[in-house]
Amino acid sequence: MKTIKHIIGGVYSTGSTTETQPVYNPATGEQSGAVVLGAKADVDAAAAAALEAFPAWSATPPAKRARLMFKLHAVMNKRADEIAKTLSAEHGKTHADALGEVTRALEVVEFAAGIPSHLNGNFSADVSPGIDTHSERQPLGVVAGITPFNFPSMVPLWMIPMALACGNTFVLKPSERDPSSANLIYDLLKEAGFPDGVLNIVHGGKPAVDAILDHPDIQAVSFVGSTPIAQYVYTRGCAAGKRVQALGGAKNHMIIMPDADLDQAADALMGAGFGSAGERCMAISVAVPIGKDTADKLVAKLAPQVAAIKVGPSTDASAEMGPIITREARDRIAGLIGAGAKEGAKIVVDGRGLKLQGYENGFWIGGTLLDHVLPHMNIYKTEIFGPVLSVLRADDYKQAVDLINDHEYGNGTAIFTRDGDAARDFAKRIKVGMVGINVPIPVPVATHSFGGWKRSSFGAHGIYGPEAVHFYTRLKTVTTRWPTGIRKGAEFTFPSNG
């Protein structure tokens, strides 16, 4: 049985404690390894290693850092199947879904490879007689990332390439539920030629998180996870004087207008609601059909498709959905489904109690479809983070928009319609950070930035893309005057370009 260790300054280490946590294969329910759990001393060591590596790395020309990103891209392409199998073994998602995660991570590496142009500053000649001004963006120093279980490769690679390309060094605290993917990322960087110390990995739980948030040498923290923890990370990190971006939970709605292609809408809901077993912060978990006729027809189309979802382990190439990450998460999801039924929701398809031959101890739950869900129900207000799609019927378009705008979360949303006027109005009026028009999961490509609104995001910057360049650098503006042989004498008024 393998032990997943810290990686500090290029050295694998069991760290300062003897505490470990089991790592499971969700498909079998069997323990596949153990991850060491770090403490403050391990974060201190990782931050020290990153700080030691920072001067040489930040002095490396952006063009050379870009060439290393190109090498990383090549290594990831070569080892994509291995990356996918590693994350599936501990997360449970299907192999095809895992490969999609790798592809999205590659997009961020591609963007990071353009760092010489992304770091371009501005120059203004003669802002005043004989005076020029230019601006530049400089790295912060040591930065850190705290990442979730649901995308154990992609989310760290939303952060690491951008932070390193900007000239920072990095401390990563990945999820302890599926930690092997993080160590594989280190191996990929090492194979690409990145120097020791630019990426350091400390595994662990809350003690490691708190040590990162409090550490005086860590200048910025990126976080992705649940809203309560995101708010905690943001509050504590900011109190310690850090720059913080903390992405939290979601409850993503999709409006289905009466004029929508219902076959297309149903297909979109199947992928967006049940892909990755619903363990996505951009999953569509609430369908909002407009009018009784639209709702009845939509549920009639969805019900047989949800019941027919092929659930299986990642080793089954025909599987469309894998297991839930842990037994506790599965039981929580099942409990929420039952609570929804008690509150009055109608269970159209019930995925509870699913057993697979040969995988009886796996953390399984099948696709679940609930109809007649109402806004006051806990099943609606709570982020389920599982393969559960709720249908909340709306009488008209205004009611649907108000429903979304009134929800505490504002991560992603979508509308399916043939009406361009309705789509345009929706995009402008909706209080959500990422909007899809006939696109069910509007995750921006890497040339744009990812970020929600309201209690789905804390901090001023989105993750990856142009926003990441601003987050991982600080602006410096330099105003220059060279001697001209003309001396004016002391000036006591506020400088101007007059």
Q: Which of 281, 337, 370, 468 is catalytic?
A: 281
Active site residue 166: no
- 473: exposed, middle or buried (Cβ count in 10 Å: 0-12, 13-18, 19+): buried
User: Is residue 170 a contact partner of residue 219, using CB atoms and an 8 Å limit?
Assistant: no
**Phi, psi angles (nearest 5°) of residue 353:** 80, 15
Can you state the angle between helices 397-406 and 420-429, rounded to 10 degrees?
Answer: 20
Q: Distance of alpha carbon 235 from its chain centroid, rounded? A: 19
**Cβ neighbours of 14 (radius 10 Å):** 13
d(CA 224, CA 243): 15
d(CA 173, CA 209): 7
Catalytic sites, residue numbers: 281
